[in-house]
Amino acid sequence: MQRAIRWYDYITVNIYFLGLTVLSQTNGLVFPLLVQMFVGEAQKGTYYGTFRLWTLMVALLAQAVMGMFSDRSTLPWGRRRPFIFIGTLGMLVFIAAIGFSSWMTGMGGFWFLFAMGILLSVAANTAQGPQQALIPDLVPDDKRGRFSGVKAVLEVPLPLILVSFTIAKIIAAGNMWGGILLAMAVLVVVMALAMLVPEKRLAETPPPFDWTPIGRLAAMTAIFTAIILGLGAGVQLLGRLLAGINTPALLIALVGLSGLLAMAIAVGLGVWISVRISVGGRAVADNPSFTWWVVNRLAFLVGTTNLSTFAVFFLQGRLGLVREKAAGPAALLMTVIGVFILVSALPSGWLADRFGRKRLVGVAGLLAALGVLIALLSPSMTVIYVGGSLIGIATGLFFTANWALGTELAPKAEAGRYLGISNLAGAGAGAVGSFIGGPLADYLTAHLPGLPGVGYILLFAIYGVMFLLSVVALRWVHEPKPAPVAIAS
């Protein structure tokens, strides 16, 4: 940044994350209801998992590629802002198209939704990849914890609360179009504010473009997708082999263990191979902490992302709610989580700067696992709210401390590229957790009809264990030591 930091820079640098999460939370209500309407009850988890896999794998590639393009941008507006503007325009078009799909029926409606979801993913990540590089571009090291704290507040709790009290109520009342239009209005406002970021045009002329990294990114995405597809197919094959088991407890245990192993392998193996391909073996060897940071981030986000993704289906099965009726309680649960994210995110930037990012990330993983355990104890919204509050506190700590840690581990000259690759965690979390988890939940629901909601109860338990695995991954993350402060003579 060419001038001293002002109070409103904390807002303009991070405000676009609010719009992205409002869109994501709106999609989290609209998409599962549309998929359920198109394909029916018996296969809603399977088809929604497929939808999530492909839209998120497109997001993974698009975000990293657009981050690389923005690293080299010499446009007068700056490196990042033109991509934010163009991506927002594209999102508005494809969100409207998704609204039109609500008037369709059957598998034709599903495949139209699928196509529009892919295009929306490209547009959203055209904006998000460059947006993520604003903090490492403009903010000095000693203030990144505080900027990341504001980012965490704007990225998670505020949009959750906003969606719960506005968009969710509109959708629960049967007015899906009203909710979609409000989300579009929020996107326009935050895009306009993001254009006020004090970004300058890149002064140096970049060297000739090297297409090798894009080839690596494509290979990374293809291999990561193949790993998820293979593991998902393996879990489904095992399910068919276990179909003859008549003991419910044994069937639940075996299916749950297979799902957990598949997700853990997808996280560990998928990240290791993918990062090695995308940045090269030498870069991985020189900076192994970045790879383990992505593993930690992916394992944690498998939990948080998919708890939100399947909240509607979970409450439908657990509490016996019918379709849109679950949207209200699901949004209220997200509000509880959002409030506690807000409570913890506000001081977490200072805590991260004071006590260390890595330590705070570990505490977040343990606290989130405890929250899931409590939420699963009883089919009572009160108990679920208590568990959700702990998950919210943990998520607020994690989003601030983990992102601040990542900005330290990513090379400054290639921040857009590296932090775009970190979307292996952002996009990969939904893909891993939903493509493997959705069919698993459908399978148990079909084979154990006397235990309503058992599929999603087990699925949420698996996500709780993934929080614990995220803590294990921190063992190999080495937090950079702060640079010594020069003392004026």
| pLDDT level of residue 351 (50, 70, 90 thresholds) | confident
Q: Where are the alpha helices (DSSP H) in 102-211?
A: 106-131, 134-138, 144-155, 157-162, 168-172, 176-194
Q: What is the pLDDT of residues 262-295, one digit of tens each?
A: 999 999 998 888 778 777 777 777 778 888 998 9
* CB-count exposure of residue 413 (10 Å: 0-12, 13-18, 19+): exposed
| pLDDT level of residue 390 (50, 70, 90 thresholds) | very high
Contact of 425 with 301, CB cutoff 8 Å: yes
- The yes-or-no verdict on residue 14 having pLDDT over 80 is yes
Is 301 domain-assigned? Answer: yes
Is 485 domain-assigned? Answer: no
The encoded tokens of residue 210 equal 């090297």
Is 4 domain-assigned? Answer: no
Q: What angle do CA 184, 329, 116 make, to 5 degrees?
A: 35
89-125 burial by CB neighbour count: b if 16+ within 10 A, else e? ebbbebbeebbebeebeeeebbebbbebbbbbbbbbb
- The yes-or-no verdict on residue 341 having pLDDT over 60 is yes
9-40 burial by CB neighbour count: b if 16+ within 10 A, else e? bbbbbbbbbbbbbbbbbbbbbbbbbbbbbbbe
Structural domain boundaries, residue 366: 9-199+212-476
Is 63 domain-assigned? Answer: yes
Contact of 30 with 404, CB cutoff 8 Å: no
Neighbours of 195 (CB within 10 A): 17
Give the whole-angstrom CA distance, residue 413 versus residue 196: 23
Q: The domain that contains 323 carries what CATH number?
A: 1.20.1250.20
Q: Please tell me what DSSP assigns to residue 481.
A: P
Residue with tokens 């699928």: 114
Give the whole-angstrom CA distance, residue 376 versus residue 318: 10
Q: What is the pLDDT of residues 55-70, one digit of tens each?
A: 988 887 888 788 888 8
Residue with tokens 């406002």: 189
Give the whole-angstrom CA distance, residue 88 versus residue 126: 8
Q: What is the pLDDT of residues 22-34, one digit of tens each?
A: 998 888 888 988 9
Is 2 domain-assigned? Answer: no
Amino acid at 113: L
The encoded tokens of residue 266 equal 């997808």
Q: What is the dihedral of CA 63, 69, 73, 75, to 10 degrees?
A: -70
Is 122 domain-assigned? Answer: yes
- The yes-or-no verdict on residue 489 having pLDDT over 60 is no
Q: What is the pLDDT of residues 256-270, one digit of tens each?
A: 999 999 999 999 998
CA neighbor of 400 nearest in space, from 6, 100, 14, 2? 14
Neighbours of 489 (CB within 10 A): 3
Is 354 domain-assigned? Answer: yes
The answer for residues whose C-beta is within 8 angstroms of residue 304's C-beta and 6 or more apart is 368, 391, 395, 398, 429
Is 155 domain-assigned? Answer: yes
CA neighbor of 275 nearest in space, from 116, 168, 424, 140? 424
| Structural domain count, the chain | 1
CA neighbor of 102 nearest in space, from 152, 54, 35, 51? 35
Q: What is the pLDDT of residues 211-229, one digit of tens each?
A: 777 787 788 788 888 999 9
User: Picking from 333-347, 357-371, 404-418, which range would have the lowest pLDDT averaged per residue?
Assistant: 404-418
